[in-house]
Amino acid sequence: MTGLAGSRAADAKRQAPVASRFSGFAVQSAISLVSTALIGVALVPAFIQAFLDKPLYYPEAAFTLGNFARLFTDPEIVRTFGTTGLFCLIVVSFSMVVGTTLAVLVGRTDLPGRGALLGVLLWPLFISPQIIGFGAILAYGPYGLITAYIGDAIGVPRPWNLYSVVGIAIISGIAAAPVTMLYCIGAARQQDPNHDAAARVVGAGPGRILRRINLPLMRPALVFALIMNIVSALEALAIPLILGNPVGIRLLTTMIYDLSFDRGTPNYGLVAALALMLMALVAVLFLFQRLVLAGSHRFVSLGSRAGQLRTLPLGRWRWPIFAGVVVYILIAIAALLGCVALRAVTQVFSPDISPFEVLTLANFETILSIDVYVRSITNTLVLAVVGAAAGTALIAGVALVAQRSDYPLRRAVDGIAQLPRVIPGFIVGLGVFYASVFIPGASVLRNTIWLLFVAYLIRFLSSGYGIVSPALLQISADFDRAAKSVGAGWTTTMRRIVLPLSKPALLSCFILLMILIIKEYASAVFLMAPGAEVMGATMLALWLQGQTGPVAALAVLQVALTAVMTVAAKQLLGVKLHG
Amino acid sequence: MASVAVANLSRHFGRVVALDDISFSVADGEFLTLLGPSGCGKSTTLAALAGLDRPTKGTIRIGDRILFDGASGVFVDAQFRNLGLMFQSYALWPHMTVAQNLDFTLELRRIRGAEAKRRIDETLSLVDMIDFADRYPGELSGGQQQRVALARTLVYQPEILLLDEPLSNLDAKLRDRARIWLGELQKRTGVTTVYVTHDQAEALALSDRIIVMNKGRIAQIGTPTEIYETPSDVFVADFVGASNLIDAELALQPGGQATARLPNGEILRVNPGPSGPVTLAIRPEKIVIGEDGGPPDNRVVAKVLAKSYLGARNLYVIGIGGQRLRVETNAGIDATEMPIRLPMESIRVYPRA
């Protein structure tokens, strides 16, 4: 060791670089500033607008509380509250019951083919709700294929009415059920097998274990799923718009949409006030969730994960239940997507004409030859790649500051990253639109896809953060401390140690953002302009104009894109998007 | 290499006092162990030395550098302290090979090329891991990871080596070997070492000096022999070597002698101490079983309450005066009662509050 000892004196002078107490402070500040500015863009103009009597770009706009007063006095708006409440109740009940049941069946029982079933049952997650809406009209609408077949078979024309609050809510529930499933299946599977074993040893049967051990342990997941369901029901726009608007059923969201588009002069103040109220409602729900889940350590599985989770035997109900699940898939997923696909390859779509007599590729030719459609496809693809890349970088930065730094405001940064979860998508779009009017110089972005880019960064900040942040928690902080102790600064530690270790999570985040951007419509409807079309918003606009054929073709394309991406992500990158 | 001087160090977490005004020093090249149960403040002290945690008050000097001074607000961050810290979890960066783990620390010091290569080879040879330079940490056994972790802290020749329970993740047999190896390595490199552990065997075997900590304070500082043979209080006597503790009443006799009266009236001769309620401490292996030709004092007949066979030794739980004592011996005894002797010189007397 003489060699080591000899060069030691020289080393003392060659110590790690100049001292600074705030290693990485500048970088951390920049990340915090960017994320705060983005959220500010989405919220501040909308907030100001809510208290103005004229659009905020009018110089003579004055302060008023009239917008909020009108919310509670206008009989039309008050009626909407009731409808929205009923709608939410049905959507949430449907989604919770169906989602939890399916999660337990697929996650914990010996249901035949449960792996494959799970994949299919989760499909709606990756599909834009408006496509589910289109499918619902084509299959179960008054002139829908299945409505007609069933009607003929039982001799009752139009045995149900899709265009009712209940009908709209059930279709929305079908779109929401996979979310419940996703939250619950993780909880169902992650339970310590020893809980089961312990209950078995003391003499509990499978049913009792499920009722007394498994379901109670899933409570945090159930509460979380419940809140997320209420939030997504409150912010649902596409399905209520497609199904409800033609017959005059209005929810809060569709009313905001109408107020900002349909009437001659958009009443931006009222729209903003409605939007703020919607957000306040969502925020209260999240607060409630925090309260309910305080002390959730009671539900954390303690101890080792040794041993296999034994599946609960369904016994003689195994095949009947399997049949039930398959029927649900046929009715709720296959029929909807099948009808959209059929519509895409037929000239006319009517129960009176066999679809196979009118097969055509004309719809695809249309979307590949008309400028607006082509642009919306290329714009979507550009935004998906660029947006997902930039979004992942932003999310990684935010997560590192919030989780892996001594930055004084890191708690606030964490809060900011969670905030977009409570901002309904179209409000993000509205906010960015307001900001583009309000912020000097921002108008150059108008009518370009870059305004959408900003909206997407805001909109999906929480979604990506939800993947990256827990993954960071899995990486021991000892790695950072070790790097620090050998002389690495914050930026170096993040770049060389933590980021490389979170590569799988960052890849998952990137893929998820691509999928979300491809299917996104809610934040895009206010920002779409000639030249800046995207698939989601184009489909919605064209459907409302009655161009169902090209819309169906676009929908098929969108689903195909998403499917290719999901499969590629799984096969090539080994990315897990759920579970 | 350098000495360490810690003075009046305190750390408060809200209203919890994790470290309460502790002072100690470590001489150049010394192996000092912080020993104590969990929550005693030993890890807090280590984190303060490493610069990973900012203490509330006090000063920390290493060599002639002031690394922390609560009064003047000086705090040098871990990044700039040039110390070696080995983690209980080893914290080897899993995406880098063994050599890359070492090289990263040199890169931060702008030591590149042949010099870096030479240092890495030299250090890996030192820990017998040169053949594993291109492996990833995930491909190594626990013992090998421990060696690499130590190599990573040595390769850039830190002024001080800080070790946080470095052996606790190894199984018992490996731990014994690693302990001997670690001791030899420290002697060879001569690097000033602060070692944190809750394992008294490690502390006794490795250290030049031991600091026994309890509830954020220093209970005793001394050489392993001092700590074991003359524990300064009941806590140290109990924590190091697990003494039998016996409640008694001490009475000073004419002629400077003292006797202790057990609750059942049994009288033992003990070393003088303050009269009144006391706790007597005697180590399990110091209790003599049977007739050993020693002095006639402190002989009692004890009931054998339980026996457990430890392989090399037998452990008996015996009852005297209504109290249970542990006795370790090589002898195998089948009787239900046995004569024992509690040698006066092995009984330590502590006043009882």
Nearest-5° Cα angle at A169, A566 to A50: 90
Q: What total number of domains does chain B contain?
A: 2
Nearest-angstrom CA–CA distance, B279 and B299: 19
Does residue B83 sit in the same domain as residue B220?
yes
Domain that holds residue B132: 4-235
Residues B48 and B182 in one domain: yes
Q: What is the mean pLDDT of residues A144-148?
A: 88
pLDDT per residue as tens digits for the range A320-353: 999 999 999 999 999 999 999 999 998 877 777 7
Amino acid occupying residue B302: A
Q: What per-residue confidence (pLDDT) applies to A22?
A: 54
The answer to whether residues B223 and B266 belong to one domain is no
Residues composing chain B: 353
Judge if B82 and B226 occupy the same domain.
yes
Q: Taking 70 as the threshold, does the pLDDT of residue A14 lie above it?
A: no
Examine the domain organization and report whether B133 and B82 are in the same domain. Answer: yes
> Which pLDDT score, from 0 to 100, does residue A308 have?
54
Residue identified by tokens 């005693």 is B40
Are residues A534 and A376 in contact, defined by beta-carbon separation less than 8 angstroms?
A: yes
**CB distance A479–B50 less than 8 Å?**
no
CB contact under 8 A, A481 and B75: no
CATH 1.10.3720.10 positions along chain A are: 24-54+361-579, 77-294+313-360
Q: Tell me the two tokens of residue A399.
A: 């997560």
- The backbone torsions φ and ψ at residue A384, rounded to the nearest 5 degrees and listed phi first, read -60, -45
d(Cα A139, Cα A338) in Å, to the nearest integer? 9
Q: Are residues B82 and B202 in the same domain?
A: yes
Pairing label, strands B267-270, B314-320: unpaired
Lowest mean pLDDT among B1-5, B149-153, B323-327: B1-5
Q: What is the rounded CA–CA span in Å between residue A547 and residue A338?
A: 18
Stretch A403-422: mean pLDDT: 88
If one counts every other C-beta atom within 10 angstroms of the C-beta of residue A287, the result is: 12
* pLDDT (mean) for A52-79: 85
CA contacts within 13 A on the Cβ side of B201: 9
Backbone phi, psi, residue B344, to 5°: -55, -40
Residues 6 or more apart whose CB falls under 8 angstroms from that of A26 comprise none
Q: Do B87 and A478 make contact, defined as CB atoms within 8 angstroms?
A: yes
Residue A271's SS3 state is helix
Residue type at A565? M
- C-alpha distances in Å from residue A478, one per residue of A371, A470, A524, B87, B177: 55, 16, 43, 7, 25
- 8 A C-beta contact, residue B298 and residue B269: yes
- Beta carbons within 10 angstroms of residue A126's beta carbon: 20
DSSP string, A136-164: HHHHHSTT-HHHHHHHHHHT-SS-S-SSS
Question: Considering B202, B235, B268, which residue would you say is the last residue of a domain?
Answer: B235
Is CATH 3.40.1710.10 correct for A77-294+313-360? no
pLDDT at position A17 over 50: no
Per-residue confidence at A295, pLDDT binned at 50, 70, 90?
low
Contacts of A470 (CB under 8 A, 6+ apart): none
The pLDDT, as a whole number, for residue A421 is 81
B329 & B289 share domain? yes
Q: Is the minimum CB–CB distance between B111 and chain A shorter than 8 Å? A: yes
Q: What is the pLDDT of residues B99-126, one digit of tens each?
A: 999 999 999 999 999 999 999 999 999 9
Mean pLDDT of chain A: 84
How many Å lie between the alpha carbon of A24 and the closest alpha carbon of chain B?
Answer: 12
Query: Is the pLDDT at B342 greater than 80, yes or no?
Result: yes
Domain finish residue from B216, B235, B254 = B235
The CATH number of the domain holding residue B307 is 2.40.50.140
Subunit contact B91:A476, Cβ cutoff 8 A? yes
| Cα distance between residue A182 and residue A178, in whole Å | 6
Report the alpha-carbon distance of residue B181 to residue A235 in Å, rounded: 64
Question: What's residue A351's pLDDT?
Answer: 74
A488-497, long-range: CB within 8 Å, 24+ apart, which pairs?
Answer: A488/A16, A488/B79, A488/B104, A488/B108, A489/A17, A489/A20, A489/A23, A489/A24, A489/B79, A490/A23, A490/A24, A490/A27, A490/A28, A490/A405, A490/A406, A491/A23, A491/A24, A491/A27, A492/B108, A494/A24, A494/A400, A494/A404, A496/B104, A497/B93
For the segment A226-285, what is each residue's pLDDT rounded down to a tens digit? Answer: 888 988 888 888 899 999 988 889 998 888 888 877 656 667 788 888 888 888 887 888
From B235, B266, B298, give the residue that closes a domain.
B235
Same domain, B196 and B288: no
How high is the pLDDT of residue A49?
85
Segment A116-138, tens digit of pLDDT: 898 889 888 888 899 999 999 99
Q: B66 CB near a chain A CB, below 8 Å?
A: no
Q: pLDDT (tens digit, 9 = 90+) per residue, A469-503?
A: 888 888 888 999 999 999 999 999 999 999 999 98
Which segment of A342-356, A386-400, A411-425, B92-106 scores lowest on mean pLDDT?
A342-356
Task: Quick: pLDDT tens for B177-201.
Answer: 888 888 888 888 899 999 999 999 8
B142 lies in the same domain as B68: yes
Of the listed ranges A13-22, A188-197, A335-344, B267-276, the least confidently predicted one is: A13-22
The domain that holds B146 is classified in CATH as 3.40.50.300
* One domain, residues B220 and B267: no
Rg of chain B over CA atoms, in angstroms? 24
**Two structure tokens written together for A63:** 């302060």
- With contact defined as beta carbons under 8 Å apart, do A99 and A225 qualify? yes
What mean pLDDT value characterizes chain B?
90
Whether B35 and B11 map to the same domain: the answer is: yes
- Residue A31 distance to chain B (closest CA, Å): 22
Residue A469 near residue A410, CB atoms below 8 Å? no
pLDDT band at A149 (very low <50, low <70, confident <90, very high): confident
Topology adopted by domain A24-54+361-579: MetI-like fold (1.10.3720)
Distance CA B74, CA B154 (A): 27
Q: Which letter does DSSP use for residue A55 in this model?
A: -
pLDDT at A418 > cutoff 60: yes
What amino acid is encoded at B204 in this protein? L
List, as ranges, residues 480-499 from A with C-beta within 8 Å of B: 481-489, 492, 496-497
Spatial separation of the C-alpha atoms in residues A97 and A176, rounded to whole Å: 11
Q: What percent of chain B has pLDDT over 90?
A: 57
Quick check: A9 contacting B, CB < 8 Å? no
Does pLDDT of A294 surpass 90?
no
Is residue B29 domain-shared with residue B119, that is, in the same domain? yes
Local structure of residue B131 (DSSP, 8 states): G
CB A233 within 8 A of CB A172: yes
What residues of B are in contact with residue A486 (Cβ under 8 Å)? 84, 104-105, 108, 152-153, 156
Q: Is residue B289 within 8 Å of B329, Cβ to Cβ? A: yes
Mean pLDDT of A31-55: 88
Which residues make beta-bridge pairs with B25? Answer: B5
